[in-house]
């Protein structure tokens, strides 16, 4: 289909009480405009135009990765009709059957399937509207029909009569319009209304008066799909609805959610069978959970892959990591980018890892920092062990072989290698390589000073 999409996103959103442009406020970790664009990209269109105004450069920068987007500036916000006017010179009217779909950057939860159905019923001789029947139409434009049920106009509430205010069918603002007719109708728009603005909705009355243009409406009943955001309360409401939609999908996929109302997905999540997720878990970016994975309460996982039968205990933070099968992590562990845990590993409470590969069956049960390291199989890292990987200017690597035991409160000063089967005595500070099968004791000689006086506060 010969389709251009126009997304209106010029408004500041004064009720948001924020310097951030309204369309950049986030739902589920992505801007509202991102959600609208994602739905739009699933349609077969020639071009996507975005009308910006307040914070235009900030919005463009946010989407600078997409060179195919077309930008139009609405310097003065004079209404939705005026906004669409800014795009018309960029739409190729010479192409036959050109249609224009109008969307809104602050209406983030419209399903792409809904838009696809609307587009499929459109043609070059029809104006197609997406409307909603609601028991609470206050503040919204009403769909006016004649005795035959034909749409004759859209009336904004501020301009509506008391009789018109009783109408339950409302305008969502989303419509698909023949481009040549839209161009003609826009030139005839006036601003003689309560807002003094050029309403795009006024073209509906013009279409009704056009003998060569029909008007159709696709009526939906899911209010959340077309709910716009004007303040932080509405933003919070749609955030929760978005998360409930995600929770429903997980439940349908067989995931056990301890409380579906207390889970946040800010990206994409892929799950295997028999996955269990406790309360207040947060998933960001791209997350893959294998079969039999158990996620404890208050866990945050970002851009990570969790293999089968892994148990992530409460309070753990995992970012940019791979966790091998049958491993246990947490509680309160911090697994940072570059971490790869092989199968059957154990990372316990208050252990932090970064850029570390930890071999099969190895464990650091509590209170350790493991950074820039390669750790072999069946290694035990004692409590309080620190991998000193930074000399103040550069990072260095620690390499540990298989079956190594590192005693509690030890310091491994990189670059250093501990060969297979070595044993580090508790409290050691190791700064040179240890050969295989050696015990290393690296402690300063203890001194006891008699008669020492404790300092007193001056």
Q: Give the catalytic positions in this structure.
A: 366
- Half-sphere CA count of 441, side-chain side, radius 13 A: 2
Which residues, in sequence order, are CB contacts of 86 under 8 Å at separation 6+? 51, 72, 73, 74
Helix (H, G, I), strand (E, B) or coil at 257: strand
Tell me how far apart the alpha carbons of residues 58 and 401 are, in angstroms, rounded to a whole number: 50
Please name which of 220, 37, 34 lies closest in space to residue 133, comparing C-alpha atoms.
Answer: 220
- Dihedral (Cα; 24, 234, 298, 293), 10-degree rounding: -80
- Token pair 């969502």 is found at 172
The whole-angstrom separation of Cα 348 and Cα 431 is 25
The tokens for 86 are: 């800014």
47 in helix, strand or coil? strand
Q: Give me the DSSP letters along 366-403.
A: EEEEEEEEEE-TT-EE-TT-EEE-B-SS-B--EEE-TT
Residues 146 and 152: their CA atoms lie apart, in Å, by 7
């Amino acid at each position: 289909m010969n389709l251009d999409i126009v997304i209106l996103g010029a408004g500041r959103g004064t009720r948001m009480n924020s310097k951030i442009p309204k369309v950049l406020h986030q739902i589920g970790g992505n801007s509202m405009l991102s959600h609208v664009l994602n739905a739009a990209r699933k349609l077969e269109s020639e071009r996507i135009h975005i009308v910006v105004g307040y914070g235009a450069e900030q919005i463009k920068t946010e989407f600078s990765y997409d060179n195919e987007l077309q930008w139009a500036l609405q310097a003065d916000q004079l209404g939705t009709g005026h906004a669409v006017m800014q795009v018309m010179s960029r739409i190729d009217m010479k192409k036959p059957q050109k249609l224009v779909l109008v969307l809104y950057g602050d209406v983030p939860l419209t399903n792409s399937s809904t838009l696809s159905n609307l587009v499929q019923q459109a043609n070059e001789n029809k104006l197609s509207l997406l409307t909603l029947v609601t028991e609470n139409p206050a503040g919204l434009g009403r769909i006016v029909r004649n005795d035959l049920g034909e749409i004759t106009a859209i009336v904004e509430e501020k301009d509506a009569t008391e009789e018109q205010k009783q109408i339950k069918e409302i305008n969502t603002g989303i419509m698909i319009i023949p481009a040549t007719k839209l161009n003609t109708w826009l030139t005839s728009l006036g601003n003689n209304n309560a807002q003094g603005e050029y309403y795009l909705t006024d073209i509906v009355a013009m279409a009704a008066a056009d003998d060569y243009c029909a008007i159709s409406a696709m009526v939906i009943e899911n209010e959340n799909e077309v709910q716009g955001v004007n303040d932080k309360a509405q933003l919070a409401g749609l955030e929760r609805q978005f998360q409930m939609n995600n929770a429903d999908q997980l439940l349908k996929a067989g995931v056990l959610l301890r409380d579906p109302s207390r889970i946040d997905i800010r990206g994409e999540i892929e799950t295997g069978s028999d996955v269990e997720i406790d309360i207040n878990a947060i998933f960001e970016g791209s997350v893959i959970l294998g079969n039999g994975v158990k996620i404890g309460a208050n866990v945050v996982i970002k851009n990570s892959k969790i293999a089968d039968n892994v148990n992530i205990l409460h309070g753990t933070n995992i970012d940019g990591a791979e966790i091998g099968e049958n491993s246990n992590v947490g509680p309160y562990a911090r697994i940072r980018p570059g971490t790869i845990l092989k199968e059957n590993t154990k990372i316990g409470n208050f252990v932090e890892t970064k850029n570390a590969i930890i071999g099969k069956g190895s464990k650091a049960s509590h209170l350790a920092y493991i950074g820039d390291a390669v750790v072999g199989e069946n290694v035990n890292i004692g409590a309080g062990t620190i991998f000193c990987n930074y000399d103040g200017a550069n990072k260095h690597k620690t390499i540990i072989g298989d079956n190594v035991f590192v005693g509690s409160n030890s310091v491994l000063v990189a670059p250093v290698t501990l060969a297979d089967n070595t044993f580090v005595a508790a409290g050691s500070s190791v700064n040179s390589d240890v050969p295989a099968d050696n015990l290393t004791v690296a402690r300063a000689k203890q001194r006891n000073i008699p008669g020492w006086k404790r300092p007193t506060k001056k």
